[in-house]
Amino acid sequence: MRPLHPVSPGLRIALGISFFVLFIAFWAWITLGGHVNRIFLADPLSMLRDGWRLLVEDRFWLDILITIWRVFGGFVLASVVAVPIGIAMGAWKPVEAFLEPFVSFARYLPASAFIPLLILWAGIGELEKLLVIFVGSVFQIILIIAVKVGSTRRDLVEAAYTLGSTNNGIVKRVIMPANAPEIAETLRLVLGWAWTYVIVAELIGSSSGIGYMIINSQSRLATGQIIFGIIVIGLIGLLSDFAFKAFNRWLFPWSLA
């Protein structure tokens, strides 16, 4: 095969789908063929049956909704705090010098390790779930945005100065619009991570949500339900990512294509 040679669109789709087919076929072969113990891994068909029962009989869709609300709630909370701080750090170097060492340190604190502490502070209600996502996202967003803003094209800033911009004008009318698409892309990325944090938060001390259903199913050895839950998370993540991407394209027509 010639390196770096592009693949035709049709073949690309066919290859992409064929992996899923192979994957599911392998899964069906080891489960339905009796190569693994059913207790530890459900086959694809019972997974679908379990999922359907979950949705219809156990009102699993309520858990899905509550998990979505937690992700977006925590994510919006983190964004509202982190975006202005990130912009300030990128734009004004003293602010960066003041906050960057701490934020860099805080970024490596694992959100999951905070869960016991957050439960002590905020109980096991909704606030605790939001805070887990907040702690997991906020420092990441701050740092990435600070770096993006800090690398704003200097020639655009200089051009604006020669057109009469004040220091505040530069921040509002050059630095912010210039980085808006990158900031939106950063948020899209971090939203993906927020899905990981919410499940972890729901695995511990929770009575609702997709994560709760998963941990609950574990005690009943309902591997079909666990796999269904994981697939649902993946699908929602994929959908929200597509939606976010489309929204960014619509918002910033000047930056793409």
Partner 1 sequence: MSKLLIEGVSRTFAGVRGGLPVKALMPIDLAVAANDFITILGPSGCGKSTLLRIVAGLEAPSEGRVLLDDKAVTRPGPDRGMVFQSYTLFPWLTVAENIAFGLGERGMAPKERDDIVASYVDLVGLRGFENHWPKQLSGGMQQRTAIARALANDPEILLLDEPFGALDNQTRGLMQELLLGIWERRKKTVLFVTHDIEEAIFMASRVIVMTARPGSIKSDVAIDLPHPRHYTLKTSPEFSALKARLTEDIRVEAMRTAQARPAEA
Report the residue number, 127 or 157, with the smaller CB distance to partner 1. 157
* Of positions 72, 92, 161, 193, contacts partner 1 by CB under 8 A: 161
Smallest distance from partner 1 to CB 91, Å: 17
Smallest distance from partner 1 to CB 210, Å: 38
d(CA 142, CA 186): 10
Q: How many residues does the chain have?
A: 257
Rounded (10°) CA dihedral 147, 149, 151, 156: 180
Alpha helical stretches, state H, the chain: 9-32, 44-56, 60-91, 93-107, 115-122, 126-150, 154-162, 167-170, 176-203, 210-219, 223-251
Window 177-196: residues binding partner 1 (CB under 8 A): 177-178, 180
Window 117-136: residues binding partner 1 (CB under 8 A): none
* Of positions 65, 160, 204, 215, contacts partner 1 by CB under 8 A: 160
Residues in binding contact with partner 1, number by CB under 8 A: 21
DSSP state of 17: H
Buried b (16+ CB within 10 A) or exposed e, 17-42: eeeeeeeeeebeeebeeeeeeeeebb
User: Binding string, 224-253, against partner 1, x = CB under 8 A?
Assistant: ----------------------------xx
Residue span binding partner 1 (CB under 8 A) among the ranges 75-83, 93-101, 155-163, 185-193:
155-163
Applying CB under 8 A, the residues found at the interface with partner 1 are 155-156, 158-166, 169, 173-174, 177-178, 180, 252-255
